[in-house]
A = this chain, B = another copy of it.
Amino acid sequence: MATAEPTAHALIARHRPTLDQALEAIRTRAYWSPHPEHPKAYGEHGSLDAAAGKAAFDALLGSRFDLGQPGTDDWVGGEVSPYGVELGVTYPHADLDVLLPAMKAGQRAWRDAGPEARAAVCLEILKRISDRTHEFAHAVMHTSGQAFMMAFQAGGPHAQDRGLEAVAYAYAEQVRTPGTAEWSKPQGKRDPLTLTKRFTAVPRGIALMIGCNTFPTWNGYPGLFASLATGNAVLVKPHPRAVLPLALTVRVAREVLAEAGHDPNLVALAAERPGEGIAKTLATRLEIRIIDYTGSTAFGDWLEANARQARVYTEKAGVNTVVVESAGDYKGMLANLAFSLSLYSGQMCTTPQNLLIPRDGIRTDQGHKSFDEVTADLAQAVDGLLGDDARANALLGAIVNPDVKARLEAASALGEVALASREITHPDFPDAVVRTPVIVKLDGAKPDAEAAYMSECFGPVSFAVAVDSAADAVELLRRTVREKGAMTVGAYTMDEEVERAVEEVCLEEAAQLSLNLTGGVYVNQTAAFSDFHGSGGNPAANAALCDAAFVADRFRTVEVRREA
């Protein structure tokens, strides 16, 4: 281990400009990213190019992923790519009574390093992850089922952006209180009362990050880096089907920590045996003081109710709505929606599910369109987008697990099918389950349809819901967000009054709204440093990525005061 001091100075010098740019970006919320999106941008300045990244990934397959963690009592694994490949990687299984105390050993030095040095170490971790984006892309692809380009971008630069954003917020929050203060209170003719005060940001303890299957890095990095940057140790509990991207992350973090003179056990992996359900055990350990979780509402609610010793940040299920009231650019709307419904087979927490369309049809720049015309045109737009199998494979990726496939297959029985799902063959991976999305028509006025559209049907399933009017759509939107939560809301309208009504629902129910998107930005995508992911104010999530509330309670400020 190096001594921390000189390394800290060097790391701060290297990364302070990036940190400052990130701080400026979250203040202006203009576009910014230090992480290139294009695969060809990698291969210089120490980063792996496409071939080297692929080779690095291939070398991992079938290997024992040794992290050198204390208390390793077994080796566990069993990931099978949604593309059909068995990864064959085994990971350390931890004896928690050894690992957790070991994670606390380095916490004092990590705390004493201070916010700036911690931010610099976090940025170095992100930089090294960035250099290996090609390797991570394959790891994300073969655990989430995302197509390569999406795994590359969302699992690489976009996830790194979200991690950096969290570091910037964490840094800003910790330095809002000065390190020291001189306090002098006048006492009339007597001498003033004077105190010298020292303020220290202290961590809560060990943070637990529970990863998800679909976006292991993108959804995992904000909590991981927010906790680490605020001085906590972080235990990473990946989804059993998406261990590799987070194991790689943990390895890089441990390497950087050790090189910076810190204890590598500040970041550790908790892989589990099949069916072990280790998250419940971990979540209620007294050492665990912060939990970040992305996944089902049932387990998120369980965590909030039972992990009482911890501050719990959850992203759970929601039902995302798009109100389609009228369209000033009908073709643009159809193309935009078709892409949103198709991307990663709708397996995003931000994918629209319910399209609320007046049963009497809508006004558009192409004339009046009936409900059936809108659904048929949308179906055609999706068909057009996915007509070419290569393009379809590049957009859809693979169905991540059998549950999603089962839901997709059951969906066509829920109503009249406007667009049937079809199978696509993947040229490289014959065992991959690739499916185009299904669109089912439902009548919003019929009580038996409500069970379908008022539940999250995660996957490539959307409902074209016939509503009586724009006002009816707005009210259904409100009820859906209030009762079921929503990560995203979209609306298409040329009517100012309808626009205001939709906006008002989103403000009152705390949902993030995208209006009249017809170009290359989609309702299911958000950009770090500018867009918030979720609001933290409706049942879909109790936190937003990323704001001050996401970081401010991960540390506490301890004051030591004495007479001056």
Contact = CB atoms under 8 A, between A and B. Distances in A.
A-side interface mostly: mixed
A29 B202 contact: no
Q: Which 6 A-B pairs have the closest CB atoms?
A: A537-B556, A549-B552, A29-B181, A515-B562, A549-B553, A548-B552
Given A193-B520, A508-B202, A535-B557, A31 B513 contact: no
Given A29-B178, A521-B563, A553-B553, 8 more contacts: A29-B183, A29-B199, A176-B548, A183-B527, A183-B530, A512-B558, A512-B559, A544-B556
Contacts of A413: none
A531 interface: yes
Interface string A534-564: 0111000000100111001100111111110
B530 A181 contact: yes
Report how many copies the assembly holds. 2
A308 B504 CA distance: 25
A425 B178 CA distance: 47
Interface string A502-532: 0110111011111111111100000100111
B560 A503 contact: yes
Contact of A516 (B176, B187, B558, B562): B562
A506 B516 CA distance: 54
A28 B513 contact: no
A422 interface: no
Contacts of A193: 519-521
Interface residues on A, range: 35 or more
A58 to B, nearest CB: 30
Contacts of A536: 553, 556
B308 A308 contact: no
A177 interface: yes
A512 B111 CA distance: 17
27 contacts: A27-B178, A30-B183, A31-B184, A31-B186, A108-B508, A173-B548, A177-B547, A181-B530, A183-B530, A185-B527, A195-B521, A197-B530, A197-B531, A305-B308, A506-B558, A506-B560, A513-B559, A514-B562, A515-B560, A515-B561, A517-B563, A521-B561, A535-B557, A544-B556, A548-B548, A548-B552, A549-B552
